Structure 1
């Protein structure tokens, strides 16, 4: 029977939302403003792709759903949401629409939005530190996640992260690339860091969490899958920004072009960009070949990344 990706997304999102509802302070918890701002952005209708990728990677490696993996997914979603809140601020992308809702600083003011992002980031690491897993596993996951969201300081295995900056490093490169004629190397570096790093670590963290002693080959394959799928995701995002309207996207369309952002279509054009995304997904599939049918959910999610319209 063919895997129904809509059911996969729906069940994974439900698991994540249940965990987020339990982990985030309620709207009536003092101080009200910060907790309402955190919840406003977290529950604004995101697809929960990163936690779902994490959950399915853990399930593939463990052969079952590990206890507490939804909390790990929720922590990754907190980090993603924090990055969106800050990315939308006037000092960065200056956007007023996110997931079809007013951005956090529009709804709650700039100061509260900054603090809401900060609070989500710290709560994410608190959540990971409290996971019901062996201390060595928790430390390994914390280390991977911290490096992935940072500026590229540290090492992941034998990979010098200075060659692959984390999410914040990618955001800096994105800002500094505005108004500069984009090159292929620049665009790939930005995409692998700003978007790809968190997608990749969601998959790697899930694999680490799903096995007490994952082999180096397993983690390397998950990392390759995440890097390929993460880059494909951002290429499709670039294409959608140029081809869809704001109502379809749930955010302001055309912002990348208006801001002279370094995007894949700016270098290669739309047709080549679509082809590149499809090839990256094919390469991502190859990395999971040894896992057989157990990899079907991750493959279905990767395919969804290139077929989506928002």
Structure 2
């Protein structure tokens, strides 16, 4: 796949504060990369560098093989960007602002624009100063999605939207992915990232602490198991690889190190298994592991 975003050893300092330490990751065509981390982790700084808004101190930052600072004008012709807090011209209507954005970009589909206005249930005739945060967000999303770009950068795009509108956004992202577009998605809604992302990059205190597909990262947290047996389940308590054992009669819930799954299953079958449920770790589990540490 074509490498659309390439970051290697990215560094940025604000005075004495080191905002980014050797940040490296890539986004390919037809790929959704979830970019997550706690507030102040460096997500927005990274995105501003990608957009050519601020200059990096060191490292490589390219989009479409072009330098994001020196060739930002050419890059911007092929990207769409939605920030998490949208400011609009209060005396213009939502429809007028969307049309202005499309003209500034130099293209866009009127048919897609009209379809998205209906899907997101936006009243385009109302002035922007009357809009709620969610409606301001809809204006930016409609404008961005109406343009046929090669890269879409979303920084907390569903901030202020209700769950129904979040679902519509997710459907639109899945369409873009099928069309071979590259998408960088920064979001605090971990279920949204888990549903959409092919790869996850977790940043904390300006450093990338984990990156890879969800399946590649799941080994970092333990699977939760609930099991019911005919014989006394307490015999499982001391089996290697079992943690946080909690028993109620013949049923127990515990977490397991998947390296010892075979041994745990063999021990369980000797007790006569009546019920077995295994829940793999979620992205939230993985995120909280780094957040709490």
TM-score, normalised on structure 2?
0.30
Judging by fraction of residues, say which structure has more strand.
Answer: 2
TM-score, normalised on structure 1?
0.29
